[in-house]
Amino acid sequence: MNFSADLSSNLQHLKNTLQADRCFDIVYRVVEIGGRKGCLFFVDGLTKDEVLLKILQVFQAIKPEGMPIDAHGFSKQRIPYGEIGLVSDEASAVTQLLTGITCLLIDGYDQCLTIDCRTYPARGVSEPEKDKVMRGSRDGFVETLIFNTALIRRRIRDPKLIMEIMNTGESSHTDIAVCYMEGRVDEKLLSAIKERIKKLHVDALTMNQESLAECIYPHKWYNPFPKFKFSERPDTASASILEGNIVILVDNSPAAMILPSSVFDIIEEADDYYFPPVTGTYLRLSRMLISLLTLILTPLWLAFLQNPESIPSWLDFIRLSDPPHVPVFYQLIILEFAIDGLRLAAINTPSMLTTPLSVIAGIVLGEYSVKSGWFSSETMLYMAFVTVANYSQASFELGYALKFMRILLLILTALFSWYGFWAGILISACAIAFNRTIAGKSYIYPLIPFRLKEIKKRFFRQRIPHTEKQK
């Protein structure tokens, strides 16, 4: 319904729609402006009180003869504030009001004036807990969208940096910012992403980026390798934008979603570029090697134990020192799930109890599970390495993908020995090689298709290209 010039009718409709008499945080105040009645609607707690106070003081000084003939003229001449808008229909006004925007209705005007003096409860832009910084800026994304866009804009001061605002969710009306560099982005992918968000019909994005990712790209459930890269670091998001990628920010989420992302994009970290090329290369290669070891170490050890004749003399130390009471395969599977149980317990443990409970878990469960005969000391050693090494890269999604592939490898190796091991390796390789990014390109580019120059960039940290300015 469109607004009319009758304030009483507009006021009654808005009050009924917003259920203002039942919701204590929906505040409406009738004021007099230039001899006319007006009404301010706003959400308590989402409005800058000092800005609203100054605007009300200005309204009191307006004379009847100084009132413009329409709402457009009033917004230009009588409201001393920068972010002013006009809406003609009630639905748009209600949506904006519930996001924190103040709405002003004046008798005789058939449009609603919107005053963007929002403020949101927000924490400081401190270093992210998940994406720790070895060297570099220690600010991180927060749950407020406008703060996150400001952190990117601070790093890229170029008019070609485009940040488009979109909205989705029938109930949540969640704000989504699509950030990209004009002239560098894949225009076809950008148009497809924006079109998917526009056509998205969903009640709410309850889980922020994950909900959006599932809605815009319903990928095959049986391939666990992630299609998106998530980062809580503004420098990582800014670098990705400059490389031609698209960054999606969702309100209420402290992480940026970067797409398209290949497996090399997900493994790569900003810390590689905060150190000299030699150090950065070492960090990158060691991260790749350790990620590979988390996949094959325990299945390879199990295969050797099942075939002791295959163990070379220089690897005799990998044999079990004592005969196991529980088969090694079952030991490894139990520990895979037990470690996830401890991880979930650590998340829900109060911070004051984290240290004592960690000591109990490390000493009691580790020491006495070996002494009781449940687990061999060698099994505990290799699983401890796999658990710690899993955190060598920042992506939880990639970590769990490697875990699922590792469990599949263990099962196939236990059933078919070496044939099962190599079959599992082949399945894991195919899951990566035949995967596609959201743009439809190879997941392991530049290996497939082969590009030697790009491979060097992926595996080796190269110097940033630069030239001297011509005088």
Exposure string (b/e) for 43-74, b if CB count within 10 Å is 16 or more?
Answer: beebbbeebbeebeeebeebeeeebeeebeeb
Q: Looking at residues 428-448, what average pLDDT do you find?
A: 88
* Single-letter residue type at 299: P
Token pair, residue 175, equals 């704000």
Confidence of residue 471 (pLDDT cuts 50, 70, 90): low
d(CA 398, CA 407): 14
Query: What is the H or E stretch that residue 22 is in?
Result: none
| Packed helices 90-98 and 7-18: angle between N→C axes, nearest 10 degrees | 50
Q: Looking at residues 80-91, what average pLDDT do you find?
A: 88
Query: What is the H or E stretch that residue 160 is in?
Result: none
Residue 353 has pLDDT above 70, yes or no: no
Q: What is the DSSP string of 394-436?
A: S-HHHHHHHHHHHHHHHHHHHHHHHHHHHHHHHHHHHHHHT-B
Residue 367 has pLDDT above 80, yes or no: no
Domain boundaries, given as residue ranges, for the chain: 7-115, 145-261, 277-433
Q: Which of 15-24, 192-201, 354-363, 366-375 has the lowest mean pLDDT?
A: 354-363
Query: What is the H or E stretch that residue 366 is in?
Result: helix 366-371
Confidence of residue 41 (pLDDT cuts 50, 70, 90): very high
The pTM of the full predicted model, rounded to 2 decimals, is: 0.84
Confidence of residue 355 (pLDDT cuts 50, 70, 90): low
Token pair, residue 225, equals 């390798």
Of 71, 74, 75, 67, the residue nearest 110 (C-alpha): 71
- Say which residue the tokens 């000299």 belong to: 276
Q: Looking at residues 265-277, what average pLDDT do you find?
A: 85
Q: What is the distance, to the nearest Å, from the Cα of residue 191 to the centroid of all Cα atoms in its chain? A: 21
The confidence score (pLDDT) of residue 219 equals 66
Q: Which of 133-147, 150-164, 432-446 has the lowest mean pLDDT?
A: 133-147
Q: Looking at residues 46-56, what average pLDDT do you find?
A: 87
Token pair, residue 369, equals 């599970």
376 CB neighbour count, 10 Å cutoff: 20
Token pair, residue 396, equals 């939880």
Exposure string (b/e) for 218-240, b if CB count within 10 Å is 16 or more?
Answer: ebeeebbbbbbbbbbbbbbbbbb
Q: Looking at residues 35-62, what average pLDDT do you find?
A: 89
345 CB neighbour count, 10 Å cutoff: 11
Cα–Cα–Cα angle for 44, 48, 52, nearest 5°? 95
Residue 258 has pLDDT above 80, yes or no: yes
